[in-house]
Amino acid sequence: MGSTWSQFFPPAPSLIEANLPNQNGKVFIVTGGYSGVGLELCIILYKAGGKVYLAGRSEEKALDAIARVKDANPSSGGTISFLPLRLDDLTSIKSTVDTFTAAESRLDALFNNAGVSNPPRGSISVQGHELQLATNCLGPHLLTQLLLPTLTHTAATEPAASVRVIWTSSIAVDMSASKQSVDIEEVLQSNASPQRYYEISKVGNWFLADALATQAGPSDILSLVVNPGNLKTALTRHISPWVPFLAAPLLYPARMGAYTELWAGLSSTPTISDGGRYIVPWGRFHPNPSTELMRAMKPAGDGGTGASIKFIKYCDEQISDFK
């Protein structure tokens, strides 16, 4: 309970705009970058001189956000550009990556920030997957795998663990998901509620981060997962209005969540041996991760449940035809 409580009332962030080193020459992709945490992160990276690709499905919203970012930071030496991305349509993601790699030969950090929470029951992706599993897990998994050659190329000439992939989870992992089954086959067969699918997708983000750490760690790419924090963002737009109203005293500005992702993506503290670890607000390692979820990320032969292996296999199967 103490570690969950500390995520509601975190200590002050240690990495913010004021002490962030210049990011000139660094290239970043931020998914869901035209609102909320993603927008705040884009502002910070752009202001620090980075080359930022704001990835999202709405060009109109993205261009409006980009104009506001530039107007608010006229002295920045950075650049910020729109990258079309629709995470709920697996057929479109390779085109996104082709567009990016035609323009760039390096990628220093991929922030898988975009997500959806509690859409109406029955909401599905273009390929017919439950919308939260598609947007929060399958789309980011495919995007990451297609960008892995560029990340690996960049990591070959950079210090170990400086090239990173950041996955976005939620306090839901500690509040409820860690206390229930995380067997993907069971969930798919149970006609689960939108909230249950959300919880599974957020646990799934941790599974994906951990699996990528094993896959890409030997190439010195660091994969981490974050709970950005309890924030005032549009992520709660599908939830009954009374929920965010009652929770308002416990919610923080989106900029604070950007600090969590900033620490995960750019702090010098994490090393390659920290691959797959969980970051909590406003940038620190989870002090006491769920024993059950840690077991879920181990094979049955090593004292685990193998739930993560099943989930990754499911994700791999769903994206295999779209690489």
Give the residue numbers marked as catalytic.
Answer: 169, 198, 202
For residue 159, give the nearest of 8, 272, 296 by alpha carbon: 272
Task: List, edge to edge, every strand of the sheet that includes 221-226.
Answer: 79-84, 51-56, 27-31, 109-112, 163-168, 221-226, 278-280, 284-285
Q: Which residues of 162-180 are buried (b: 16+ CB within 10 A; e: fewer)?
A: bbbbbbbbbbbbbeebbee
For residue 17, give both structure tokens.
């705009």
For the chain, the farthest-separated pair of C-alpha atoms sits apart, in whole angstroms, at: 57
The residue assigned the tokens 């996104």 is 96
For residue 109, give the nearest of 57, 35, 33 by alpha carbon: 33
For residue 144, give the nearest of 167, 121, 162, 120 by alpha carbon: 167
186 and 314 Cβ atoms separated by less than 8 Å = no
> CA-CA distance, 68 to 65, in Å (whole number)?
5
| CA 214-128-168 angle, 5° bins | 40
Environment class of 75 (CB within 10 Å of its CB; exposed 0-12, middle 13-18, buried 19+): exposed
For CA atoms 195, 198, 200, 203, give the dihedral sign.
negative
**Upper half-sphere CA count for residue 298 (Cβ side, 13 Å):** 10
29 and 107 Cβ atoms separated by less than 8 Å = yes
